[in-house]
Amino acid sequence: MEPCSRVFDYSAVRVNVYNATSKALVAQASAASSGYYGVKLGAGSYLVNVTDAAGKSFGLPSLDYTQSFSIEKGHEIQMDFDIDTGIR
């Protein structure tokens, strides 16, 4: 095996945030090329998934596989994702 010299451009990644009750998309953010992203949300319960720019998920075929989270007023959370880019 040889190490892969290709670098994944994380700016192709979209972080999609949905209202946990209605499943409506409430926010979407593009990651920076380094992989960092930010989304401002109000207090509430949400679902989040990660897709490429075309909306194709990284091994996660539907909203059934999203991560759920809640935010309390005045609080901040950090969410990190492992993305299998397929680069080997």
The full set of domain ranges for the chain reads 10-71
41, two tokens: 């949300």
What proportions of the chain, in percent to the nearest 5, are helix, strand and coil?
Answer: 5, 30, 60
pLDDT at 53: 78
37, two tokens: 């992203």
The architecture of the domain spanning 10-71 is Sandwich (2.60)
**Residues 49, 63 contacting (CB under 8 angstroms):** yes
pLDDT at 79: 85
pTM: predicted TM-score of the whole model, two decimal places = 0.77
Which residues, given as ranges, of the chain have pLDDT below 50? 60
pLDDT at 21: 94
Using a 10 angstrom Cβ sphere, with 0-12 exposed, 13-18 middle and 19 or more buried, the burial of residue 59 is exposed
